[in-house]
Amino acid sequence: MNQNNKDEREIRTLLDTWAAAVRARDMRQILAHHTSDILMFDVPPPTALRGIEEYERSWQPFFASFAGAITWELSDVTVQAGSDVGFATALVRCAGDKPAGGSFDLAVRLTVGLRKIGDQWQIVHEHHSVVAE
Task: Give 5-47 pLDDT, tens digit per residue.
Answer: 999 999 999 999 999 999 999 999 999 999 999 999 998 888 8
Q: Which of 52-74 are b and which e, b meaning 16 or more Cβ less than 10 Å from the residue's Cβ?
A: eeebeeeeeebeebbeeebbbeb
Going by C-beta distance under 8 Å and a sequence separation of 6 or more, which residues neighbour residue 72?
A: 19, 22, 23, 92, 93, 94
Q: How far is CA 48 from CA 6, 54, 61, 116, in A?
A: 32, 9, 16, 23
Q: What does pTM read for this prediction?
A: 0.93
Q: Tell me the residue range of the domain where 53 lies.
A: 3-130
CATH number, residue 46 = 3.10.450.50
Work out how many domains the chain is built from and give that number.
1
- What is d(CA 109, CA 84) in angstroms, rounded to the nearest whole number? 24
Task: Give 52-101 pLDDT, tens digit per residue.
Answer: 999 999 999 999 999 999 999 999 999 999 999 999 999 999 999 999 99
